[in-house]
Amino acid sequence: MERRIRSVLIASILIALVPTVTSAQEGDITSIDFVDIGDPASEAGHNLYGWGPIEPETNGGTWGHVGEEDGTCRVISFFDGKNISDWARFTMDFGGSPGTKYLLLRHMDGYADDSFYVYVDELGEPGDKTEVFYYADQLDIETWLTANIPLDLTGVHTIYMLCAQPEWSGSETYEQVAFTWASVVPGWVLGEEPTAITLTSFTAQEGAGSVTLTWETATEIDNAGFNLYRATSGNGSYTKINTALIAADGDPVSGASYSFRDERLAPGTYYYKLEDVDYYGVTTMHGPVSATIVPRFRRPAYRPTTPEAGH
C-alpha cells in the first residue's frame, strides 16, 4: 500500500490533546472498555496485531525519563534496527447505547517529529473515509499525551494506528510511537454536559383506589426512559412500581408528556419519585410528590319500614 503522506488541515482533524492522565487509565467503572497495552492479561480479548514487543517503563530515555514513566507499552515504528511494523491494531467495545463516546489513546513519541493516524475498521491512507484522527507531532519533546477522539459508535470495532511523518516537517524522524493504554468512555467522563432532561412538571392525582402520575419534559438529551418509585413517607424506603423502563418519547427540542396509573391502593398517603435514565446509565431523581387515598363512604343498606298497625 502506498504510504504517500499528504498535507492535512490540522485544525479540522487534530482533536484536543491533554497532557494529563484521566481516571479511565485505571479501567474503572467509567470505562465502557479498557486495554492496558503492554499488560498481556489486559490485552487478552482485544485482538492485538502488528505491535512491537512489550517495552519497559524506561528504555534508555526513549519512553519517558525518570518520573515521567507511564507504565509498560508497545511501539509501532519504521526505525532501523527495529523489526516492528509501522501500523498496528486492536479491538474496542463501544457498548450498546447510541451517542458520542470518546476513544482515549495514551501515546508518546521520541525526540523526533513522529505523527500517527487512526482509522476505524479498515487500515487506510491519509484522507481516507475511515480516518478518524491525525496527530501531527511538532513538540520535539518526550511527553505522554492522551488523544480524545469522539466517535458515535456501538458494538465492537477494530482500531488501526499508522505511524507517519508530516511532509512539512524538516526535523529528524524515526516514525515510532509508543502506546500504553486505550479506553472508551462516555462524553460526561471528560466533563461534557451530562445527558439530562428538563422537567417542567411532575404531579400526582388521587382517584378511587389509584393515583395517576403525570409529568412533562421540555427537552430530553440522550434520554432512555423513566422509572417511578413509591413510598409511604417522604423520606421512607422507595420501591419501583413500573415493571419495565417507561420509554422516552421526547427529543432535545420538544420534550414530551407522560402518564402512569398506580392502582389497587389502600387508603393512605403515598409519595412518588421520578427517575430519568440516560443511554449511559446515568440517572437523576425528581420529586417527591404525594397524593392521599381516602376511604370510600358507603351508604347504609336501605331497609324499608312497615307501617305500624293502626296508622
Q: What is the pLDDT of residue 139?
A: 58
Residues 20, 118, single domain; the answer is yes
Q: Which of 173, 182, 156, 6 is nearest to 88 (CA)?
A: 182
DSSP 154-180: -SEEEEEEEEE--TT--S----EEEEE
pLDDT at 207 over 80: yes
Residues 221, 283, single domain; the answer is yes
CATH of the domain at 44: 2.60.120.200
User: d(Cα 192, Cα 186) in Å, to the nearest integer?
Assistant: 9
Q: Which of 242, 251, 268, 260 is nearest to 202 (CA)?
A: 260
Residues 216, 184, single domain; the answer is no
pLDDT at 128 over 90: no
Report the pLDDT averaged over residues 118-135.
87
> Is there a domain that residue 5 lies in?
no
Q: Which of 215, 203, 229 is nearest to 259 (CA)?
A: 215
Spatial CB neighbours of 133, under 8 Å, sequence gap ≥ 6: 13, 15, 117, 118, 147, 149
Bond before 186 cis per omega within 30 degrees: no
> Is there a domain that residue 117 lies in?
yes
> Is there a domain that residue 305 lies in?
no
Share of the chain above pLDDT 70, in %: 70
Residues 38, 132, single domain; the answer is yes
Residues 116, 86, single domain; the answer is yes
> Which tens digit of pLDDT belongs to each residue from 248-304?
998 888 889 999 999 999 999 999 999 998 876 778 889 999 999 988 766 666 666
Residues 49, 169, single domain; the answer is yes
Look at the chain and report how many structural domains it folds into: 2
Residues 272, 248, single domain; the answer is yes
Residues 203, 289, single domain; the answer is yes
Q: What is the pLDDT of residue 184?
A: 93
Lowest mean pLDDT among 181-190, 221-230, 254-263, 294-303: 294-303
CB 212 within 8 A of CB 259: yes
CATH of the domain at 251: 2.60.40.2060
- Name the pTM for this structure: 0.57
Report the pLDDT averaged over residues 59-77.
66
User: d(Cα 244, Cα 225) in Å, to the nearest integer?
Assistant: 10
- The gap from C-alpha 3 to its chain's centroid, in whole angstroms, comes to 34
> Is there a domain that residue 96 lies in?
yes
Select, from the ranges 64-68, 106-110, 307-311, the one with the highest average predicted confidence (pLDDT). Answer: 106-110
Of 190, 207, 232, which residue is a domain's last? 190
Q: What is the pLDDT of residue 166?
A: 53
Residues 148, 29, single domain; the answer is yes
Residues 213, 259, single domain; the answer is yes
Q: What is the pLDDT of residue 225?
A: 92
pLDDT at 169 over 60: no
Q: Is the dihedral of CA 54, 60, 63, 67 positive or negative?
A: positive
Q: What is the pLDDT of residue 275?
A: 92
> Is there a domain that residue 301 lies in?
no
Q: Cell 467509567 appears where?
A: 30
Residues 94, 171, single domain; the answer is yes
Of 160, 175, 190, which residue is a domain's last? 190
SS3 at position 10: helix
What rounded mean pLDDT belongs to the chain? 78
> Is there a domain that residue 85 lies in?
yes
User: d(Cα 111, Cα 107) in Å, to the nearest integer?
Assistant: 13
User: d(Cα 201, Cα 223) in Å, to the nearest integer?
Assistant: 17
Q: What is the pLDDT of residue 252?
A: 80
Domain that holds residue 73: 10-190
> Is there a domain that residue 308 lies in?
no
pLDDT at 4 over 90: no
What are the cell numbers at 49? 496485531
Residues 162, 207, single domain; the answer is no
> Is there a domain that residue 299 lies in?
no
CB 181 within 8 A of CB 37: yes
End-to-end CA distance of the chain: 119
Of 190, 223, 251, which residue is a domain's last? 190
